[in-house]
Amino acid sequence: DIQLTQSPSFLSASVGDRVTITCRASQGISRYLAWYQQKPGKAPKLLIYAASTLQDGVPSRFSGTGSGTEFTLTISSLQSEDFATYYCQQLDSYPYTFGPGTKVEIK
Amino acid sequence: EVQLVQSGGGLVPPGGSLRLSCEASGFVVDDLYMSWVRQAPGRGLEWVSVIYSGGSTFYADSVRGRFTISRDNSKNTVFLQMNSLRPDDTAVYFCARRYPGEGYDFWGQGVLVAVSS
């Protein structure tokens, strides 16, 4: 199975900050990576797929880059509604594993 | 409007069975990849299973041989039959849809499955 790691696991930031989260895969997955945002008690929300394609309706302050084994999610200017947990997911081969998550909290 | 409405969660003793349902509206389940994803209390997301439009199925190692994903096209509904349940199957279970090459763009509301004596 492909393992995903995320760093950091926890992030404390202020409104307006630029935030970057990294996801690393245990083997190459081309660009078959998605990013999700999840708030407590809610289903995950798709932000980005194919490493860098913004899902319809997602604000342009979210962006994704990477290919192969290293990927990043960037929030260019953190807003209050962005405080949540973020997960990456590989869609290269089954099982479609998720990263362990990065919790973004208010500083 | 696309919606996925889930039902069937609950409390079940170890070794018991449960069937989850995920009724879709606004699209045809037979046209897309439909999956189940679960989240144990206070933990991260775990992909469980998928059923393709052609009927092929795949499972996580942790549930293979115990869980079965299926689809009833006449009801536009996807199911997850869970047998031989264990305490570590306790989680909120989500159904979700996916277009080939994309991420899971619509999710059900989630249902809690609790396995305990």
Surface of A (32-51) touching B: CB under 8 A:
34-36, 38, 43-46, 48-50
pLDDT confidence tier of residue A107, bands split at 50, 70 and 90: confident
Q: Name the closest residue on chain A to residue B60, using Cα atoms.
A: A95
Q: Which of B47, B101, B105 sits opposite A50 (nearest CB)?
A: B101
C-alpha distance from A51 to closest chain B C-alpha (Å): 10
- pLDDT at residue A26 greater than cutoff 90: yes
Which 3 state secondary structure label does DSSP give A80? Answer: helix
Counting beta carbons within 10 angstroms of the beta carbon of residue A105, is it exposed (0 to 12), middle (13 to 18) or buried (19 or more)? exposed
Cβ contact, residue pair B47, A89, below 8 Å: yes
**CB-defined contacts A:B, below 8 A:** 60
Residue A104 has a pLDDT of 97
The predicted structure's pLDDT at residue B29? 94
Cβ atoms within 10 Å of B9's Cβ, excluding its own: 17
Q: Which of B3, B5, B36, B45 to mutate to test the interface with A (most CBs of A within 10 A)?
A: B45
Please enumerate in sequence order all residues whose Cβ is within 8 A of that of B103, keeping only pairs 6 or more positions apart, or say none.
Answer: A34, A35, A36, A46, A48, A49, A55, A89, A91
pLDDT 10s digits, A27-75: 999 999 999 999 999 999 999 999 999 999 999 999 999 999 999 999 9
* A78-93 tens-digit pLDDT: 999 999 999 999 999 9
pLDDT at A95 over 90: yes
Provide DSSP, B20-67. EEEEEESS-GGGSEEEEEEE-TTS-EEEEEEE-TTS-EEE-TTTTTTE
Q: What is the mean pLDDT of chain B?
A: 96
Mean pLDDT of B38-66: 96
Q: Quick check: A44 and B94 CB within 8 A?
A: yes
Burial (CB count within 10 angstroms: exposed 0-12, middle 13-18, buried 19+), residue A97: buried
Closest CA in chain A for residue B107: A43
Average pLDDT, chain A: 97
- Looking at residue B109, its pLDDT comes to 98
Q: Which residues of B touch A53 (CB under 8 A)?
A: 102
Determine what percent of chain A is predicted with pLDDT higher than 90: 98
pLDDT 10s digits, B13-25: 999 999 999 999 9
- Beta bridge partner(s), residue A25: A4
pLDDT for residue B88:
97
Mean pLDDT of B66-72: 97
